[in-house]
Structure 1
Amino acid sequence: MIQIITDKYEDTVAIKMSGKLTQEDYQVVVPLLENKIDQYGKINIYCEVIEVSTMKPGAIWEDLKFDAKHFKNFNRVAIVGERGWLNWFSTFAKPFTTAEIKYYDNYEKAQAMDWVVRGKEEYETQH
C-alpha cells in the first residue's frame, strides 16, 4: 500500500509504503506526483518504507515507467526506514536519477523531512 502522508509543501510529496505494493497504489500516487512536476518542474520526495513484503508485477511496471519518464524531475529524495536493504536501495537508485538521495533511520523522520523540504544548504545552516 502507498499512502500520501502530506502534499502541503509546494514542491514536496511525502508518502508511506508498506505491505504489498500494487499497480492500483501507483494509480493513486502518480497523478499527484505528475501534477506537482507539471507545477514546479522538479520536486522532492519523502518516502517512509515500512515492511514492504511484495511488489506485484504491475507495480514494478508502473514504477519503471514513472522513473524512466521523470528521470530528471527530482531534486531530493529522502528514504526513511530500517537500515538493511534500504541503505543498499538508496545507493542502487542513484545512477537512475539526477536527484540527491539520502537514507534516514526510522528515528530520523523529522530530520529527513526537514532536509527534503529545505534543502542541504538551508538544513545545514539551521543545524
Structure 2
Amino acid sequence: MLELIPDLPDNLVGVIAKGKVTGHNYDAILIPIIEDKINSHGKVRLLYQLGEEFEGFDLQALWDDAKLGVKHFKAWEKVAIVTNLKWIRHAVQMIGFLIPGEYKIFENHQFNEAKAWVCS
C-alpha cells in the first residue's frame, strides 16, 4: 500500500510504501497525483520512503513505476528515495544517471534530512 505524506509543498509528492505495493496502488494513488502535479507545475519532486513495514512490489507495480518514470522522463526535478534495503539502493544507483533531475538516496533514519533536501 502507498500512504501519502501530508503537509508538503504543492510541487512535491510524498509517499510511504507499507506492506505489499501493488499496481492498483500506483493506478489509484501515485499516478494520478504525480500527473496532477506535473500538469500544475511542469515538474514534480518526489519523496518515496520504503520503510520497515515495506514487504515488496507486485509485478504490476514494478511495471507501472517504470512506465511512470519513462512517460514523464523530463518532469522529475528532485527525487529522494528513503530506504535501508540494499537492493533498492543499488537499483537506484544503477539507473540514477538516467534520471535527468537530481536524485539522492537516504537511509530510513535520515527521513527528515531527505524531506529537507527534496523541499529545498
TM-score, normalisation: structure 1: 0.83
Structure 1 or 2, whichever has the larger Rg, is 1
Q: CA deviation at 1:7?
A: 5.8
Distance of 2:57 and 2:83 partners within structure 1: 17
Give the paired residue count.
Answer: 118
The equivalent residue for 2:44 is 43
Contact 2:8 2:14 in 1 (8 A): no
Distance of 1:107 and 1:58 partners within structure 2: 29
The equivalent residue for 1:99 is 101
For CA contacts below 8 A with separation 6 or more, give which structure has more relative contact order: 2
The RMSD of aligned alpha carbons is 1.6
Q: How does 1:14-93 map to 2 (within 5 A)?
A: 14-27=14-27, 28-51=29-52, 52-82=54-84, 84-93=86-95
Distance of 1:91 and 1:31 partners within structure 2: 26
Query: Runs of 5+ in structure 2 lacking a partner?
Result: none
Distance of 2:99 and 2:36 partners within structure 1: 19
The answer as to 2:111 corresponding to 1:109 is yes
SS state at 2:5 partner: strand
